[in-house]
Amino acid sequence: MLCATSRLLAARAASALPAHPRGRGPAPRSRRRELHFPGHPELPPGDLLAGRFAGPSVSTGRRAILRRGRMPPAAGGGLAGSELRPRRGRCGSQAARAAGRDVATETATARSPKRPAPLSSRRFEAAGRWALLALVTLTSFATRFHRLDQPPHICWDETHFGKMGSYYINRTFFFDVHPPLGKFCAFLGSMLIPLAYLTVLELSRSLPAALLTAALLTFDTGCLTLSQYILLDPILMFFIMAAMLSMVKYNSCANRPFSAPWWFWLSLTGVNLAGALGVKFVGLFIILQVGWNTLSDLWHLFGDLSLSMVTLGKHLTARILCLIVLPLALYIATYAVHFMVLNKSGPGDGFFSSAFQARLSGNNLHNASIPEHLAYGSMITVKNLRMAIGYLHSHRHFYPEGVGARQQQVTTYLHKDYNNLWIIKKHNSNSADPLDPSHPVEFVRHGDIIRLEHKETSRNLHSHYHEAPLTRKHYQVTGYGINGSGDSNDFWRIEVINRKFGNRIKVLRSRIRLIHLVTGCVLGSSGKVLPKWGWEQLEVTCTPYLKETLSSIWNVEDHINPKLPNISLEVLQPSFPEIMLESHLVMIRSSVWTSFFLTTFLQGNNGLKPKDNEFTSKPWHWPINFQGLRFSGVNDTDFRVYLLGNPVIWWLNLLSIALYILSASIFAVAVQRGAHLPVKVEGLSQVLLRGGGQLLFGWMMHYFPFFLMGRVLYFHHYFPAMLFSSMLTGLLWDTLLRLCAWSLASYPLARCVHVLGILTLLLGTAYSFYLFHPLAYGMVGPLAQDPQSPMAGLRWLESWDF
């Protein structure tokens, strides 16, 4: 990714020197001259040339181009040479060229070149930019790889994501923190910073803004901590940022559609989207953002009457191919690999349907062969279709006094057990043993009245007008009768969903409902855990509400009937699309993608079991850095790591969002009121409104949806949004300082304002990092309340717990 970017940039830099393409004004170069910082040695030679040859070539396309939403340059006084030169022949910022043109005519006539600069400084400047990028990258790698091996034990979420990693590698439950995996995460975490740097550079065309962003992210303890552990977040954030960068890049290529770089960035966007979605569902938000960007892009193209419908069709097709078909194909391919690798039975089995389990080796359904159709006399287990409910179960224990009738309990149970076995009998005949070989086989059909006899206790599945133990509005379900003889309350009608009467009932594939004949209620499980008398199994009820919900639908899983021929389950195995669908449904229905694994894997008590309200937090906590997350270390003497953002940076980000909204609204209102802004200010306002707008949108897309989620939320969910808000901060402060410098332009040292401002921010963040770095690299010693602690005086909020 990085290599590709850099090679391309190199190519651009190399090709930047030759003559301008026809029809494009040489304007920006002359503008640069005007903006340069007095005493700055490197005046790009391009400027000189432009200044010399700049004729009165007034552009025709400025309005049109601005309207089409391309990014204009950051104009205004400031660090000379800090703005990227628009690149000819490549996808440069179109508006950068355009917006400068008007200025060009003014300045070219108004001033003459101050002094010629050596041609080599051109190359020198390019090299300087490269050095800066290298520096940024190096710093980020240095901070992320520093003390990567500490602490040597497992931290918080690593327990499950690490396990998943080892899952893939060993296909067993053996667990060890694999160093390569840790380094991989740190590598991706480090890559975030150059990506953010390049994105801001592309959006603002201003090196200081990009540098500030990079510093904010490098020196943020939260990002640092998150990158040092084996978690999914660095991977997710990497894909999000990569998608954002490639989107911004392909926006810049819009003036040269269907060129190689255009295709490259467009398809790279697609690839990164697939990656983001494949890691976590949170990746969906960046997809929405790219989708929105694409739609507005298409909308602009559609309004351009110079484009024929055929061209528009091509544009549309290209986007569908690269942004929908390509990611989808990659996503599905990932799943195919996932299912091929994970083909062994494990603790997650119970969550999946019987048919799904059949393809896991080690599961008793794998390669099993059982009779296909249910017949009277068959011994079966019945599984609820809702996830994590389990098998219909009964045992030799009665409901306690005061809980409905004192009859045998019926529950659901998640594990395989002899007490899950039931025998299907005809409702009216008990005498003739259906397993008697002389008897002909009689299949159970849709709509038949049956009786289910519990094999171990010979009691019938029974229901009556007593309220269920926990769900008061439902009826109680019990085991009743002796040796299979009970009463008419033992009769159930068996129905297959979406079938006609008289059809046979298939093992695994048929979705059945059991309807109580007398009361007309439906057998279901409420999913509530019974108290101790019920062995903490789940409650089974008969619900009088006939709504079709999954908790009242069952399927037959095991089936034993010696009189019927066994068929291999292979034919019953679901196809790949069905597997895809089911595993997604399971993930969505468990609604807690993370806690799905947490509950599965953290059963063993490792002392860090998340109980509600302990590690979880509310979305409004996040931007204000209200409360961190304890990564490792419990006692005061332990080596402790605490996931908390660098408060200086986070609060600066928060302030910047407010400031951004304020300044952007001022500009928007001014434009709407028809105010005529000076050209430089207009350029800056375009950066603010367009570039900043995209970043603000990204922040909102990655933050606000969490308010709607009912799931368990953790502090680290905010980090993708935090990346966007840091980029916004960089862009905003650079622009504001440039505006300041511009408004003070009459004073002698006005331009220092920009330099000083940026330097102050850079040094400030670096210093705050110096203060707070123990949060990420680990602290030993007493807690921060104690004056002896290394962190004494830094506990600025009561809620911080380090």
Partner 1 sequence: MLGFLQHPVMVTAEVNLNMVALTAMGLLSRLWQLAYPRAVVFDEVYYGQYISFYMKRIFFLDGSGPPFGHMLLALGGYLGGFDGNFLWNRIGAEYSSNVPVWSLRLLPALSGALSVPMAYEIVRELGFSHCAATGAALLVLIENALITQSRLMLLESVLIFFNLLAVLSYLKFSNSQKHRPFSPRWWFWLVLTGVACSCAVGIKYVGVFTYLLVLGVAAVHAWHVIGDQTLSNVRVLCHLLARAAALVVLPILVYLLFFYIHLLLLYRSGPHDQIMSSAFQASLEGGLARVTQGQPLEVAFGSQVTLKNVFGQPVPCWLHSHQSTYPMIYENGRGSSHQQQVTCYPFKDVNNWWIVKDPGRHQLVVNNPPRPVRHGDVVQLVHGMTTRLLNTHDVAAPLSPHAQEVSCYVDYNISMPPQNLWRLDIVNRESDTDVWKTILSEVRFVHVNTSAILKLSGVPLPDWGFRQLEVVGEKLFRGYHESTVWNVEEHRYGRSQEQKERELELHSPTQVDISRNLSFMARFSELQWRMLTVRSDDSEHKYSSTPLDWVMLDTNIAYWLHPRTSAQIHLLGNVVIWASASLATLAYALLFVWYLLRRRRRVCDLPEDRWLRWVLAGALCAGGWAVNYLPFFLMEKTLFLYHYLPALTFQILLLPVVLEHVSDHLCRSQLQRSLFTALVVAWFTSACHVSNMLRPLTYGDRPLSPSELKALRWKDSWDILIRRY
Residues that bind partner 1 (CB under 8 A): 299, 302-303, 305, 471-473, 532, 543-545, 547, 605, 607-609, 611, 613-615, 627, 630, 634, 669, 672-674, 708, 710, 783, 798-801
Cα–Cα distance, 193 to 216 (Å, whole number): 9
**Is the separation of the CB atoms in 24 and 88 below 8 Å?**
yes
Which residue type is seen at 793? G
Exposed/middle/buried for residue 115 (C-beta within 10 Å: 0-12, 13-18, 19+): exposed
Written as six digits, the tokens of 33 are 């001259």
Which CB sits closer to partner 1, 151 or 544?
544
Cα–Cα distance, 524 to 542 (Å, whole number): 6
Which CB sits closer to partner 1, 658 or 708?
708
Which CB sits closer to partner 1, 696 or 758?
696
Q: How far apart, in Å, are the Cα atoms of 757 and each of 268, 646, 735?
A: 36, 20, 11
Which CB sits closer to partner 1, 396 or 618?
618
Which CB sits closer to partner 1, 305 or 571?
305
Q: Minimal distance in Å, beta carbon 177 to partner 1?
A: 22
Which residue type is seen at 521? C
Secondary structure, 3-state, 599-653: HHHCCCCCCCCCCCCCCECCHHHCCCCCCCEEEECCCCCCCEEEECCCHHHHHHH
The CA-based dihedral angle spanning residues 256, 260, 264, 265, taken in that order and rounded to the nearest 10 degrees: -20
Phi/psi for 631 (5° steps) reads: -85, -45
Which CB sits closer to partner 1, 22 or 547?
547
Secondary structure, 3-state, 458-502: CCEEEEEEEECCCCCCCEEEEEECECCECCHHHCEEEEECCCCCC
Written as six digits, the tokens of 698 are 């990204």
Q: How far apart, in Å, are the Cα atoms of 564 and each of 365, 379, 423?
A: 18, 12, 15
Establish whether the linkage from the previous residue to 151 is cis, with ω within 30° of 0.
yes
For residue 257, the 8-state DSSP code is T
Which CB sits closer to partner 1, 22 or 532?
532
Q: Minimal distance in Å, beta carbon 643 to partner 1?
A: 13
**Is the separation of the CB atoms in 716 and 231 below 8 Å?**
yes
Q: Minimal distance in Å, beta carbon 532 to partner 1?
A: 7
- The upper half-sphere exposure of residue 689, i.e. CA atoms within 13 Å in the direction of its Cβ, equals 19
**Is the separation of the CB atoms in 350 and 389 below 8 Å?**
no
Cα–Cα distance, 549 to 734 (Å, whole number): 56
Reference 137, options 180, 197, 200; nearest CA is 197
Which CB sits closer to partner 1, 138 or 666?
666
Q: Minimal distance in Å, beta carbon 87 to partner 1?
A: 31
Q: Minimal distance in Å, beta carbon 613 to partner 1?
A: 5
Cα–Cα distance, 508 to 569 (Å, whole number): 9
Q: Minimal distance in Å, beta carbon 303 to partner 1?
A: 5
- The upper half-sphere exposure of residue 691, i.e. CA atoms within 13 Å in the direction of its Cβ, equals 35
Q: Minimal distance in Å, beta carbon 381 to partner 1?
A: 27
Which CB sits closer to partner 1, 369 or 549?
549
Q: Minimal distance in Å, beta carbon 85 to partner 1?
A: 35
Q: Minimal distance in Å, beta carbon 635 to partner 1?
A: 8
Q: Minimal distance in Å, beta carbon 768 to partner 1?
A: 22
Close Cβ partners of 326 (under 8 Å, ≥ 6 residues apart): 267, 270, 271, 274
Tokens 């026809």, located at residue: 22
Which CB sits closer to partner 1, 672 or 746?
672
**Is the separation of the CB atoms in 406 and 472 below 8 Å?**
no
Q: Minimal distance in Å, beta carbon 500 to partner 1?
A: 15
Which CB sits closer to partner 1, 113 or 705?
705
Which CB sits closer to partner 1, 500 or 673?
673
Cα–Cα distance, 451 to 236 (Å, whole number): 53
Q: Minimal distance in Å, beta carbon 320 to partner 1?
A: 17
